Structures are given as C-alpha cells and as structure tokens.
Structure 1
Amino acid sequence: MGLNPTIFKMPEDKPPTRYRGRFAPSPTGPLHFGSLVAAVGSFLEARSRGGEWLVRMEDLDRPRTVPGAADDILRTLDIFGLHWDGEMMVQSARNEAYRAALAEMEKLGAVYPCACTRKEIADSVVSGIDGPVYPGICRAGLPEGRTPRAMRVHTDSRPVGFDDALQGRISQNLETQVGDFVVRRADGLFAYQLAVVVDDAEQAITHVVRGADLLDSTPRQIYLQELLSLPTPAYLHLPVAVNERGEKLSKQTLAPAVNLANTVAQLCEVLAFLNQAPPEELKNVDLDDFWQWAIAHWRADHLPAVRSRQLSGI
C-alpha cells in the first residue's frame, strides 16, 4: 500500500498552519539505527515541507533514564546535521502541565483512582493490544479497605480511529481492546499517553512522524485529545527496524550505538531502509551536500508501508 497524499494533512475544519514536526527520544541510552530512522524520517518530512522540526526529551520515566544519555543524544543529532528549531522541551520539567490536565479530567469525571496491582491485572483472562485488558475492578469505586495507587481514564465502546498516512486506517474499541488505561502511575509519575498529548498541544505540533511501535497507542492519545479539547495532529508511522529475530532495535536487544565517525554512510543506510534510493555516490559527499540532496529528493510516497523491517546484518 502506498502513501495517500490526501490523508497526511490537518483536518479541513482547522485553519491552515505551518508544518511543525518533532523528534522525541527517551534518554535510556545512545541513539541506535532504529532511533536514527525516526529522527531522519521526521526531519526530512518537516524540512521538505518548509516546516519546523522540534526536539523533545521524553525523560518522564525517571527509573529508566540513563545519566548523561540526553546530552549524548543531542550531541549525536548535532554531529549528524539534525539541527532542531527553538528550545528543546524536557518532560521532567513539565509536571505542573500534566497535573493540570489530570485535574481537568477529574472535573469532567473522566478518571478514577485504582488500587489494583500488576498481578491482579495480569490475572485478567482477556488479552488485548498491549497485554491483559484492565477488568474494571475499581471502575465503580475502590474495593473496601483498598488504597488508591494509579489513576485511570474511563474508556467507552465507541471506535476511536484515524487515517495514518502510511499504515492506513487504524481503529480501536478502547474499552474492549485496551481497557481503562493509566494516566498517572502507581509510583506517582504521569503516564506517557497523557504527557505526549499535553506536550504535542503545547508545542503546536501539526504532524507526528514516528515509529510504528507507537501506532497502537495512538487511539489512546486521540481519545485524551478529545477529552481535553486539544487538537489532533496528522500521523505517519514509519517501519520499525528489527533484528533477525524480529526484535525491535533497542537498548534491551543490545542495539549498537550509531557510529559518529561515519555519518553520511549511515544516513545513506537510513535512506535505503526508507526506500528513498540514495545513489551510491551520495556516500562520498559531505554532510551539507547530503542533506541538500536528501531534502530535495524526499518522497514520502516511497516509504515502505509495513510496521517493521529487518535491517540486514543486525
């Protein structure tokens, strides 16, 4: 399936605005090839449209944050010529914004406290998109003698869908396929689903280009956007790079960091992975000439319409 150019645009009921994209890495380790794919894809889609490209450091999950990783990621982006616009947003500094969003949902009666442990949820007999579907134990109120742990959002049975510019129509029944999902965790940290919605609105993001590993969570984000009366960006989910075992390249699967000494050759590998057909001689140009060629020749309609793609040699 090819990209439908009529889909990847802001809804017609919204006024036209300048393209604003973003790259939002988590500082859990150095950039690897998979994260470079997301960075390059989002960068080229923005620059080829004459738009802005922002960077947001998603360090909300502090237990997984590696000291020094954020600075390392920013240095790597700079070395690869992936220069961003404006100031970088840092999620760990935005708890007040997330708290305000949660308070708004409390006013709407859209969230409730949950006392369930992971084991209790894991015992659910219904399997959904991201594991067991929350069985709704605390939906009607906390069981007697239980202490609240997390905060969950009420879901309903209406389908939540969107047209992804590359992956096509995605629709979910959140109530049956996900269940009431967490917006504030038991450890007090705000959940990614809430934070990303608040941050995209704050940064006026019009287009989200990211990995397809986040495709199935997008309906949850759209659901929260609607609850909070926030705009919904257009979405394009790029194929995720996987190893020969079909595992997403990540710190957990021991994906090697990108090579800072051979930037153009690696960027050409990214273009080839994204079906952009870089000529062999492009590997021998300097970084500025590479980006000039890549921006001028970027074709979103050539992107592979798959959720994952194996990277040879990994």
Structure 2
Amino acid sequence: MPISRPEQPVFRFAPSPNGLLHLGHALSAIVNHDMATAMGGRFLLRIEDIDRTRCRPEFEAAIFEDLAWLGLDWEEPVRRQSDHLDLYAAAIERLQRMGLVYPSAMTRGDIRAAVAAAEATGLAWPRDPDGTPLYPGGERGFSPEEQAALLASGRPYAWRLDMQNAVKRAGEPLAWREIDPVRPDETTSIDADPAAWGDVVLSRSDAPSSYHLSVVVDDALQGITHVVRGRDLYHATSVHRLLQRLLDLPEPVYHHHRLILGPDGRKLSKSNRDTGIAAFRAAGHEPADVRAMVLGQ
C-alpha cells in the first residue's frame, strides 16, 4: 500500500550512551538522516540513557562528536529518557489498572533451573525470536494479596506483561507497515506475533522502563512517523505494535535496514568493543569513507 505522507515526516536516531558508536550505528544514523532529508522531514536525536549503571556522560559526548563529524545535524534540544521517567511509570500504572501486568521475582538462575528441569523430562521449552526461553510465568496467577506480599518482601522484581490477556485485550489481529526495500514509496503489511515473546519485562524495581515500553512512549510523544532501525529489531516490532494498541498510541511506519556484520559473521556490538567511528577518524579516514563503508558506495 502507498505510504500516507504526513505534512512533515519525523525520523529519529536513538543510541544508548553505554559505549562508543560503531559502523552499525553510523549506518542507522545516516539512513535516518538521509531519508528525513529526502522527504523534507525532521531528524531527531534521542539519548536512551535509562540504564544509569552503564550509561556515561563521556559516551554521550562521544555520540555528539561522532555524528557531527559524519556531517549529520539534528534538532535541539536532544531528548534524554532519564528526564522523563515519570512518563514510563504512568504507562506502567495504566497497564496495571487494565490488569495486564504482574510482578515477577524469578531470577535468571531460577528461570534457567525451571527450563532445565522441564527439558530434562523431554519437553521442548518455547523460545522467543532471539532464542531466549520464555518466562515460566509462575506469578501470573497471583491474587492481589500475593502480589502485594511479593512487592513488600523487598525482593528484586520486574513488571511483566501478561501476554495472553494483553493479546486478547488488543482485539483484532495486529500488523505493521514495513517500507518496501525495492519500492520505498510503498509499504508491505507484516503480521505481528507478540505472543512469540511471552511475558516480556516492561520495567524492573531497579530500572523504570524496558526498551519495549520506553521506545513506544518516546516515539509517540516525539511524533515519530518513521522508525528506521536495524534488522535485529524486526521481530520486536510485534511487541511494540501490541503496546501501541493497548496504550492508544499512534502507529509509525517501519523500515528495518540490514546489519553490518563483523569478520566472524556476528552483528557489531559495543559490548564486544567493535571498532568505533572515533577509531576510523583517528586513523585518518574522512566522513565520506565511513559513508562509503556502511552504504556500500
């Protein structure tokens, strides 16, 4: 179907300041910026800094420096998630009132043990599209009194989405509009399957929001019309469409671009300290060189 053109399309690049940007980030930032320019739209920069244990000011400063060196410009002020924690809490509270979230206290070790015990009996434990075992959901049926006791116990906990009830509440089948890579003026309808992810985490007692929740809230509040990001987040769009439906948020158009892979065939990662944009700059490369590397020009 043809893309419905808003008066002014809005794109965003939303990195986390928990490491240096690498070529994969350069590709995403450049594609967002170029698409916004081609469509006469706006290009926003959002700093996703909810994880205060890993995010650092020096990494945020490096993001600005790298993007400016690449020749990209963005609107000010830059939105930082850490300035809007109350908005994510409000979204959780709304889902609580709808009876669609529950507190869970199983640790990663508890989950591994439960899955291992089930698989030892010959049961094939379901896994999400990333290959992670689905949450067992033992607390899903807790009474209000049991939930209150868990919250009062002082144990670390997470608020999880009751996926089965959430899908029922969403009603009609979900889909998203994916920009056709061959005909960029058109979109293809992709069926969403949020249930494949099980009872996803939406926040933790030590973290006010998960990526799934904060990204849909931020995109809506910033009026993002086109979400352009890596292919690794393609399947996660199912969860995002579900949350958009539940929270009455607008539906953007999506484009999931290819990933840049390392020599070993895996996607680039800050945690693996893959070569950053700054290293290419220090080695004497020009912005045009990096653009050619990531775009294949």
Tell me which interval the TM-score lies in, with the shorter structure as reference length. Answer: 0.7 to 0.9
Residue aligned with 2:53, SS? helix
- CA distance 1:271–1:128, change in 2 (3 Å): closer
Please tell me whether residue 178 in structure 1 is matched to residue 197 in structure 2: yes
Contact 1:7 1:163 in 2 (8 A): no
SS at match of 1:64: coil
Aligned-pair CA distance for 1:51: 0.3
Could you tell me how far apart the structure 2 residues matched to 1:99 and 1:128 are? 26
What corresponds to 2:216 in structure 1?
A: 197
What residue in structure 2 maps to residue 152 of structure 1?
A: 160
Q: Which of 256, 263, 287 is residue 275 of structure 2 equivalent to?
A: 256
State the partner residue of 2:64.
74
Matching residue of 1:44: 34
Cα drift, residue 113 of structure 1: 1.3
Match of 2:110 in 1: 120
Alignment partner, residue 134 of structure 2: 133
**1:242-290 per-position Cα deviation (integer Å, ceiling 9, x unaligned):** 1122211112233111123421221122221xxxxx4xxxxxxxxxxxx
Q: Structure 1 counterpart of 2:162, which letter?
A: H
Match of 1:164 in 2: 178
Matched, 1:87 2:77: yes
- 1:266 alignment partner, SS class: helix
Indicate conservation of the 8 Å contact 2:51/2:207, yes or no.
no
Partner of 1:25: 15
Question: What aligned pairs does 1:224-263 form with structure 2 within 5 A after superposition?
Answer: 224-258=243-277, 259-260=280-281, 261=284, 262-263=286-287
Partners of 1:66 and 1:126 in 2: CA distance: 36
Kindly tell me: are residues 7 and 150 of structure 1, through their superposed partners in 2, closer, same or farther at Cα, counting changes over 3 Å?
farther
Post-superposition Cα deviations, 1:142-161, rounded to whole Å, max 9, x if no partner, equal: 66975461111121356543
Partner Cα distance (1:27, 1:9) in 2: 33
| Residue of structure 2 aligned with 1:219, choices 235, 238, 243 | 238
The normalised TM-score by structure 2 is 0.81
Contact 1:166-1:238 at 8 Å conserved across structures:
no
- Give the Cα separation in 1 of the matches to 2:253 and 2:206: 32
TM-aligned CA deviation for residue 62 of structure 1 = 1.8
Contact 2:49 2:81 in 1 (8 A): yes
Secondary structure at 1:247's aligned position in 2? coil
Q: Name the CA distance, whole Å, in 2 between partners of 1:119 and 1:217.
A: 24
Matches within 5 A, 1:279-290: none
C-alpha displacement at 1:179, in angstroms? 0.8
Report Cα offsets for 1:39-70 as digits up to 9, x if no partner.
00111111100000000001112222134100
Structure-2 residue corresponding to 1:267: 291
Kept in 2, the 8 Å contact 1:21–1:53? The answer is yes
Q: What is the TM-score normalised by the length of structure 1? A: 0.77
The more displaced of 146-155 and 102-111 is 146-155
Counting aligned pairs with the same residue, the percent is 35
Amino acid at match of 1:155: M
Q: Which whole-Å CA distance do the structure 2 matches of 1:212 and 1:7 have between them?
A: 22
Per-residue CA deviation, residues 167-193 of structure 1 (Å, 9 max, x unaligned), is: 765434333x21111111242331111
For residues 139 and 17 of structure 1, the distance between their equivalents in structure 2, rounded to whole angstroms, comes to 44
Residue 298 of structure 1 corresponds to: none
For structure 2, list consecutive stretches of 5 or more residues without a partner in the other structure.
116-124, 182-187
Counterpart CA distance in 2 for 1:173 and 1:266 is: 36
CA distance in 2, matches of 1:68, 1:264: 25
Structure 2 contact 9–36 (Cα < 8 Å) conserved? yes
Aligned-partner Cα distance in 1 for 2:129–2:53 = 25
In the alignment, the residues of structure 2 paired with residue 63 and residue 195 of structure 1 have an alpha-carbon distance, to the nearest angstrom, of 17
User: Are the aligned partners of 2:17 and 2:55 in contact in 1 as well (CA < 8 Å)?
Assistant: yes
Q: CA deviation at 1:17?
A: 3.4
Task: Look up the SS of the partner of 2:236 in the other structure.
Answer: helix
**Count of residues paired in the alignment:** 262
Distance 1:188 1:264 in 2: 39
